[in-house]
Amino acid sequence: MSFNTFGREFRFTTWGESHGPALGATVDGTPPGVPLDEGFIQQFLDRRRPGTSKHTTQRQEADQVRILSGVFEGRTTGTPIQLMIENTDQRSKDYGEIATSFRPGHADITYHLKYGLRDYRGGGRSSARETAARVAAGGVAQAVLAHLLPSLKITGYMVQMGAMHLDRARFDAGAIAGNPFFLPDATAVQAWSDYLDGIRKDQNSVGAVIEVLVQGCPPGLGAPVYAKLDTDLAAAMMSINAVKGVEIGEGMAAAMLTGTANADEMRMGNDGPIFLSNHAGGILGGISTGQDIVVRFSVKPTSSITTPRRTINRRGEEIDLITKGRHDPCVGIRAVPVAEAMAACVILDHLLMDRAQTGGSRGEIGPLSQS
Amino acid sequence: MSFNTFGREFRFTTWGESHGPALGATVDGTPPGVPLDEGFIQQFLDRRRPGTSKHTTQRQEADQVRILSGVFEGRTTGTPIQLMIENTDQRSKDYGEIATSFRPGHADITYHLKYGLRDYRGGGRSSARETAARVAAGGVAQAVLAHLLPSLKITGYMVQMGAMHLDRARFDAGAIAGNPFFLPDATAVQAWSDYLDGIRKDQNSVGAVIEVLVQGCPPGLGAPVYAKLDTDLAAAMMSINAVKGVEIGEGMAAAMLTGTANADEMRMGNDGPIFLSNHAGGILGGISTGQDIVVRFSVKPTSSITTPRRTINRRGEEIDLITKGRHDPCVGIRAVPVAEAMAACVILDHLLMDRAQTGGSRGEIGPLSQS
Amino acid sequence: MSFNTFGREFRFTTWGESHGPALGATVDGTPPGVPLDEGFIQQFLDRRRPGTSKHTTQRQEADQVRILSGVFEGRTTGTPIQLMIENTDQRSKDYGEIATSFRPGHADITYHLKYGLRDYRGGGRSSARETAARVAAGGVAQAVLAHLLPSLKITGYMVQMGAMHLDRARFDAGAIAGNPFFLPDATAVQAWSDYLDGIRKDQNSVGAVIEVLVQGCPPGLGAPVYAKLDTDLAAAMMSINAVKGVEIGEGMAAAMLTGTANADEMRMGNDGPIFLSNHAGGILGGISTGQDIVVRFSVKPTSSITTPRRTINRRGEEIDLITKGRHDPCVGIRAVPVAEAMAACVILDHLLMDRAQTGGSRGEIGPLSQS
Amino acid sequence: MSFNTFGREFRFTTWGESHGPALGATVDGTPPGVPLDEGFIQQFLDRRRPGTSKHTTQRQEADQVRILSGVFEGRTTGTPIQLMIENTDQRSKDYGEIATSFRPGHADITYHLKYGLRDYRGGGRSSARETAARVAAGGVAQAVLAHLLPSLKITGYMVQMGAMHLDRARFDAGAIAGNPFFLPDATAVQAWSDYLDGIRKDQNSVGAVIEVLVQGCPPGLGAPVYAKLDTDLAAAMMSINAVKGVEIGEGMAAAMLTGTANADEMRMGNDGPIFLSNHAGGILGGISTGQDIVVRFSVKPTSSITTPRRTINRRGEEIDLITKGRHDPCVGIRAVPVAEAMAACVILDHLLMDRAQTGGSRGEIGPLSQS
* Subunits close to A (at least 3 CB pairs below 8 A): B, C, D
pLDDT per residue as tens digits for the range D247-278: 999 999 999 999 999 999 999 999 889 999 99
Find, among C77, A292, A362, A273, the residue nearest to B102 by Cα: A273
Contact B226 A3 (CB under 8 A): yes
Work out the minimum CA distance from D131 to partner chain C, whole angstroms. Answer: 10
Contact A29 C78 (CB under 8 A): no
Helix H, strand E, coil C: the string for D280-340 is: CCCEECCEECCCCEEEEEEECCCCCCCCCEEEEECCCCEEEECCCCCCCCCCCCCHHHHHH
pLDDT for the residue numbered A179: 96
Contact D359 B224 (CB under 8 A): no
- Report chain D residues whose CB lies below 8 A from the CB of C3: 223-227, 353, 357
CA separation for the pair A109, A105 (Å, rounded): 9
Q: For the residues of C186-221, what is the DSSP string, one character each?
A: GGGHHHHHHHHHHHHHTT--B-EEEEEEEESPPTT-
pLDDT per residue as tens digits for the range D39-94: 999 999 999 886 677 777 766 778 999 999 999 999 999 999 999 999 987 665 65
Q: Is A371's pLDDT higher than 50?
A: no
Contact A363 B117 (CB under 8 A): yes
- Report chain D residues whose CB lies below 8 A from the CB of A77: 115, 117-119, 124-125
Find, among D133, D137, D83, the residue nearest to D348 by Cα: D137
Pairing state between β A243-248 and B243-248? antiparallel
Q: Is A119's pLDDT higher than 60?
A: yes
pLDDT per residue as tens digits for the range A311-347: 999 999 999 998 876 678 999 999 999 999 999 999 9
Q: Nearest CB to A114: which of B220, B310, B315? A: B220
CA separation for the pair B300, B241 (Å, rounded): 9
pLDDT per residue as tens digits for the range C236-284: 999 999 999 999 999 999 999 999 999 999 999 998 899 999 999 999 9
- Pick the residue of D109, D276, D277, D331 with the most C CBs within 10 A to test the interface with C by mutation: D109
- Pick the residue of B11, B13, B112 with the most C CBs within 10 A to test the interface with C by mutation: B13
Q: Nearest CB to D77: which of A29, A72, A125? A: A125
Q: For the residues of B113-179, what is the DSSP string, one character each?
A: HHHS----GGGGGGSGGGHHHHHHHHHHHHHHHHHH-TT-EEEEEEEEETTEE--GGG--GGGGGGS
Work out the minimum CA distance from A341 to partner chain B, whole angstroms. Answer: 14
Band of residue B60 on the pLDDT scale cut at 50, 70, 90: confident
pLDDT for the residue numbered D370: 60
pLDDT for the residue numbered C304: 87
Average pLDDT over residues B325-335: 87
Q: Is C91's pLDDT higher than 70?
A: no
Q: Is B9's pLDDT higher than 80?
A: yes
Contact B116 A267 (CB under 8 A): no
Average pLDDT over residues A221-247: 96
Work out the minimum CA distance from B337 to partner chain A, whole angstroms. Answer: 18
pLDDT for the residue numbered B95: 64
User: Omega into B225 within 30° of 0, i.e. cis?
Assistant: yes
Decide: D248 and C246 in contact? Cβ < 8 Å. no
Average pLDDT over residues C142-150: 98
Decide: B171 and B144 in contact? Cβ < 8 Å. no
Q: Nearest CB to B353: which of D79, D356, D358? A: D356
Contact D353 B356 (CB under 8 A): yes
pLDDT for the residue numbered C370: 60
The three-class DSSP label of residue C256 is: helix
Report residue A183 CA to chain centroid gap. 16
Instruction: Please count the CA atoms within 13 angstroms of the CA of B198 that sit on its side-chain side.
Output: 11
Contact B369 A255 (CB under 8 A): no
pLDDT per residue as tens digits for the range C207-246: 999 999 999 999 999 998 999 999 999 999 999 999 999 9
Provide the phi-psi class of B60: left if phi over 0, else alpha when psi is between -120 and 50, else beta: beta
Work out the minimum CA distance from A139 to partner chain C, whole angstroms. Answer: 18
Contact D298 C252 (CB under 8 A): yes
Q: Say whether pTM exceeds 0.90.
A: yes
Report the residue of chain B nearest D79, measured CA to CA: B224
A38/D contact by beta carbon, under 8 A: no
pLDDT for the residue numbered A48: 85
Work out the minimum CA distance from D190 to partner chain A, whole angstroms. Answer: 41
- Report chain D residues whose CB lies below 8 A from the CB of A32: 114-117
Residue ranges for the known binding site of C for FMN are: 125-127, 241-242, 285, 300-304, 326
pLDDT per residue as tens digits for the range B355-367: 999 999 999 999 8
Report the residue of chain C nearest D307, measured CA to CA: C260
CB within 8 A of D286, min separation 6: which ones? C107, C110, C239, D222, D223, D224, D225, D227, D228, D229, D230, D231
Q: Is A304's pLDDT higher than 90?
A: no
Q: Nearest CB to D31: which of B29, B32, B357? A: B357
The three-class DSSP label of residue B253 is: helix
Report the residue of chain D nearest C356, measured CA to CA: D1
* Subunits close to B (at least 3 CB pairs below 8 A): A, C, D
- Pick the residue of D8, D67, D79, D147 with the most A CBs within 10 A to test the interface with A by mutation: D79
Q: Nearest CB to C31: which of A29, A352, A358? A: A358
Q: Is B62's pLDDT higher than 80?
A: yes
Q: Nearest CB to C359: which of A224, A355, A357? A: A355
Q: Nearest CB to D239: which of C228, C267, C268? A: C228
Contact A356 C352 (CB under 8 A): yes
Q: Is A288's pLDDT higher than 90?
A: yes
* Subunits close to D (at least 3 CB pairs below 8 A): A, B, C
C66/D contact by beta carbon, under 8 A: no
Buried-state track C135-144, b at ≥16 Cβ within 10 A, e below 16? bbbbbbbbbb
Find, among C226, C181, C177, the residue nearest to C199 by Cα: C181
Give percent above pLDDT 90 in chain C: 84
Interhelix angle B335-358/D335-358, rounded to 10 degrees, is 130
Q: Is A224's pLDDT higher than 90?
A: no
Report residue A282 CA to chain centroid gap. 19
- Pick the residue of A8, A18, A28, A355 with the most D CBs within 10 A to test the interface with D by mutation: A28
Report the residue of chain B nearest A117, measured CA to CA: B363
C104/A contact by beta carbon, under 8 A: no
C359/D contact by beta carbon, under 8 A: no
> A-contacting residues of B 244-303, CB under 8 Å?
244-268, 273, 276, 279-281, 283-290, 296, 298-303
- Pick the residue of D69, D111, D127 with the most A CBs within 10 A to test the interface with A by mutation: D69
Report the residue of chain B nearest C115, measured CA to CA: B32
Decide: A253 and A246 in contact? Cβ < 8 Å. no
Average pLDDT, chain A: 93
pLDDT per residue as tens digits for the range D186-233: 999 999 999 999 999 999 999 999 999 999 999 999 998 999 999 999
C38/B contact by beta carbon, under 8 A: no
pLDDT per residue as tens digits for the range D102-127: 999 999 999 999 999 999 998 899 99
Average pLDDT, chain C: 93
pLDDT for the residue numbered C306: 87
Q: Is A109's pLDDT higher than 90?
A: yes
CA separation for the pair A98, A304 (Å, rounded): 11
pLDDT per residue as tens digits for the range B79-135: 999 999 999 876 656 567 788 999 999 999 999 999 999 999 988 999 999 999 999
- Pick the residue of A147, A349, A355 with the most C CBs within 10 A to test the interface with C by mutation: A355
pLDDT for the residue numbered C49: 81
C355/D contact by beta carbon, under 8 A: no
C163/D contact by beta carbon, under 8 A: yes
Residue ranges for the known binding site of C for NADP(+) are: 48, 54
